[in-house]
Structure 1
Amino acid sequence: MSDAVRATTGCANLMTTQAPNVDPPRALEIARQTYGLDGPLKLLNGERDANFLIRSEQGAFVMKFINSAEDPHVTSFQTQALLHIEQHGAHLPVPRVLAALTGEFEPTVRLGEQLLTLRTVSYLDGISQNLGNPSVTLMHELGTTLAEVNLALKDFHHRAAHRNLLWDVGHAERVRPYLHCLETDQRPLVSALLDRYESHVKPQLATLRAQVIHNDLNPHNVMLDCATGTRVAAIIDFGDALHAPLINELGTALSYQFDADAADPLWQIKAFVAAYNARIPLLPNELQLLGDLIAMRMAMAITIAQWRATLYPENRTYVLRNLRTTWRNLQCLTALPEGRLTESLINACKPEAL
C-alpha cells in the first residue's frame, strides 16, 4: 500500500466510525459520578463524537464521549492545546477543560463492551455566526480573535499534532478517492482545482512557517453574543486542530466568509484578513497561495459532505446543510477575474486597510 493511500485510509477511519451511542440517562449518570454535575441534559449534534450539554449549579458544560477510532495521543493533543491556550491566552473566548473529580482531564468510562474517553469543557453561550448580523466590525473582531488564538498556540508542541486528517487543506489530494460522489457538473471544477493544487500549491506549502492551528473556523464554530449577534462570544471545537502551515488557518476560515450575494463578494474576506494581518503580518509568499487555499477548502467541503451523505443517508440533511451555499460560492469565486482575489488580499494587508 502506498503512503498516499495509507494516509487517506487512516484519516478516513475516524470519519467512517459511528459516534458512540450513549443514551441521555446514562450520560447524566456518568456526569454525576465522574464530574459531580447534575441538571438538565441535552444531546448535541456531532460529526464524530457523542456530545451532551448539561446545565448544572456549577455552570454549563459540554461533555464529549470521544469516538473510539480516535488515537488517544490525538485526544491528548486536543486537551493539551486547550490547556495551553488557558495559560497563554487567558483572555480568549475558548472553552476551558473541566477536571474530573479524580483530577483527570481525560477520564475513561465503560459503556457496554467499550471503554470511552471523556472530555468536558465549559459551555460558552451564544448563537452561531450564520444566525448573526454580518458586518465589517464583526469581521475585524473575528480576524483579530483568530490571530490571537494562533499567537497563544505559537509555542505549543505535541507529538500528535502531526496527524492525518481528511479536513487538512494541506493534504487536499486525500479527497481524490471521493470525487465520484460529486454531482456531474461539479466534478470538472473540483478536479481542475485539485490539479492546480497538486502542481502549484502543495510544493510551496512545505516552505512556509507552520504551527498548531485551530483548522476549522466555520460559522458553526463561531459563537456570537445572544443580545445583538454582532460580537464574538466564543471560538469552539478544536477537534480538527493540527500542526500545519499557518496560512492554512486563513485558507480554511476565509472559505466560509465569501458572500456571493453581495456587490463585492470579497468584502468579508478583506475585512477579516486585514484584522488578522494587523496582529500577525502575512508574508508575500503566503498571500500568493491564500486564494488557492480558499477555493480548495470550498472544493473539499462539497466533496467530503457528499461522500459522508452516502455513508449516512439517515443523516443526509444535516451533513449536506451547507452544500448548496458552498457550491454557489465556489462557482462565484472561481468566476472572478484572474488575480482579483490575490490582489484584494494583498491590498487588504496594506497599513491603510484597517
Structure 2
Amino acid sequence: MQGSSPVVATADPIDGLRAASAIPEARAEALAAEHYGLSVAVRRLDSERDQNFRLRAADGRDYVLKIANPTEDRAVTNLQTEALRHIAARDPTLPIPRMVPARNGAVELEITFDDGSTRIVRLLSFLKGTPMHQAPQSAALRRDVGRCAAGLALALRDFHHPGANHKLLWDIQHAAELRPLIGTVPSGQRDTVERFLDGFATHAVPVLAQLSIQPLHNDLNPHNIVVDPAEQAHVAGIIDFGDLTATARINDLAIAAAYQVTDSDDPLAPACELIAAYHAVAPLEVRERGILFDLIATRMVMTIVISNIRAARYPDNSTYILRNNKQASVRLARIAALTREQAARQIERACLGE
C-alpha cells in the first residue's frame, strides 16, 4: 500500500464510538461457561472502548474475554482478530495474545445482550507479567521492545484486510486535524504544541505521503507491554490491538519511542536505544529517520490534546484516559529544548551504532 489510502470518517473526530451500557461480570461468567465450556472467576479490566474481563479458569489458566463496543464497525473488530491470527502464523515467537475458539469453532461470536445491542465477543489468552510502566526500566528492556516492535511490523507487512484503512485520529498521519482543538490545552503549553504541529506539517507530512503504509499495532505504550517478572529485560507480551490501523511504519515506531523519552538532561537517549534495536531488525530509510523526531513530538502532542478533551467528556473514566498525559507534558517540555538538527543527529548516530 502506497501513500494515503481511503478512510472512513467518523461523526466525532475525538470519539468515533458512542458509550455503551456496561456488561455485568455475571454475564461474562455465563458467556465463558456457555460458549467456551469454562468455569471461571471474573474480574473487569479497564478499557476505553470495549468491555474486557480477565477470566481465571478452574485449571488455573487465564484468559481475556473481549466484548466489542456495539457501534464499532464489524470490519474493524475482525481486523484485530485476523491480524492476531496472521502474526501468530508468520512469527510464532512474538509474544501476542492467541485467539481461543468457542465450542462451535468460531473466534468471533455475535451475542445479543439485555439492552438489545448485538456485540462481538472474543476470547484471548492472557499474557502474564508486569505492565512495563510498573517494571524496572533498563536499556536491555528498551532494546527488547524495539526488537518486538520491528518483528510485529515485519509480520504484518503482507497482511491485507478490508478494515485496515479505517480512520483513527490516534494515527499520527491525521495529527493536523488536532489544530482546531488546541484551545483545550493549558495556555502554558499551547505555544509548544503549536510549534510541533507546525513542524509536523512542514517536515513530516510531505515525507509520510511518499511512504508505504501497512497495518500496524499503533499504540506501543508501556500499558500495552508486559514484562517477564523473572527476566525483567524481556518482553512477555504485547497486548491491546484496538488501535491497529494502516499507517507508515515510522509512525508506529515513533509511538513506541515517544514513551521512552525521559525527564532528564538527555531526554532522547533511552528512546534511541529502542530505535537502534528496531533499526537492527527492520532497517529504517534515511527519510524515515529524518522525520522521526517530528513524529515522536507529535505523538506527545496528540496524547495531551486528545486525552484532555476525552477526560472532560468522560470524567468517570478520566483516570484511565489521562494515564499518559502528565508524563507526555513533562517530556514534551524536555525535548522542546532540542533543535530538529540536534535530535536528528542523535537518532542518526544511534541507528549507525555510534
TM-score normalised by the shorter chain: which range applies? Answer: over 0.9
Is contact 2:32–2:40 with CA below 8 Å preserved after alignment? no
What TM-score, normalized to structure 2? 0.93
2:146 matched to which residue of 1? 143
Is contact 1:60–1:123 with CA below 8 Å preserved after alignment? yes
Code of the residue aligned with 1:48 in structure 2: it is R
Q: Please state if 1:218 is matched with 2:221.
A: yes
Which sits farther off after the overlay, 220-229 or 42-51? 220-229
Code of the residue aligned with 1:147 in structure 2: it is A
Equivalence map 1:72-83=2 (5 Å) = 72-83=74-85
1:244 matched to which residue of 2? 247
2:45 matched to which residue of 1? 44
Equivalence map 1:89-168=2 (5 Å) = 89-112=91-114, 113-168=116-171
Report the secondary structure of 2:27's partner residue: helix
Q: Please state if 1:322 is matched with 2:324.
A: yes
1:344 matched to which residue of 2? 346
Code of the residue aligned with 1:158 in structure 2: it is H
What TM-score, normalized to structure 1? 0.93
Code of the residue aligned with 2:164 in structure 1: it is A
Equivalence map 1:1-354=2 (5 Å) = 7=9, 9=11, 12-15=14-17, 17-56=18-57, 57=59, 59-112=61-114, 113-261=116-264, 263-350=265-352, 352-353=353-354
Q: Number of aligned pairs? A: 347
Q: Distance in 1 between matches of 2:330 and 2:63?
A: 36
Structure 1 residue 159 displacement after superposition:
1.3
Deviations 1:69-116 (A, max 9, x none): 210011111100000011101111000011111111110111121111
Report the secondary structure of 2:226's partner residue: strand
Which sits farther off after the overlay, 295-304 or 188-197? 188-197
Report the secondary structure of 1:125's partner residue: coil
Q: 1:154 to 1:301 in 2, by over 3 A?
A: same
Is contact 1:19–1:47 with CA below 8 Å preserved after alignment? no
Q: Distance in 1 between matches of 2:205 and 2:339?
A: 23
Report the secondary structure of 1:251's partner residue: helix
Q: Distance in 2 between matches of 1:339 and 1:210?
A: 26
> How high is the sequence identity, in percent, across the aligned residues?
38
Deviations 1:299-320 (A, max 9, x none): 0001111000111112222322
Q: Could you tell me which runs of 5 or more consecutive residues in structure 2 were left unpaired when the two chains were aligned.
A: 1-5
Structure 1 residue 176 displacement after superposition:
2.8
Is contact 1:20–1:65 with CA below 8 Å preserved after alignment? no
Report the secondary structure of 1:121's partner residue: strand
Deviations 1:15-61 (A, max 9, x none): 5x224410101110111111112121100000101100001127211
Is contact 1:170–1:202 with CA below 8 Å preserved after alignment? yes
Task: Please tell me the root mean square deviation across aligned C-alpha atoms, in Å.
Answer: 1.8
2:3 matched to which residue of 1? none
Q: Distance in 2 between matches of 1:30 and 1:58?
A: 18
Is contact 1:40–1:55 with CA below 8 Å preserved after alignment? yes
Report the secondary structure of 2:188's partner residue: coil
Code of the residue aligned with 1:84 in structure 2: it is H
Q: 1:178 to 1:38 in 2, by over 3 A?
A: farther
Q: Runs in 1 of length 4+ with deviation above 6 angstroms?
A: none
Q: 1:9 to 1:190 in 2, by over 3 A?
A: farther
Report the secondary structure of 2:121's partner residue: strand
Structure 1 residue 127 displacement after superposition:
0.9
Deviations 1:177-227 (A, max 9, x none): 432221121222212222232233212201013211111000000100123
Report the secondary structure of 2:9's partner residue: helix
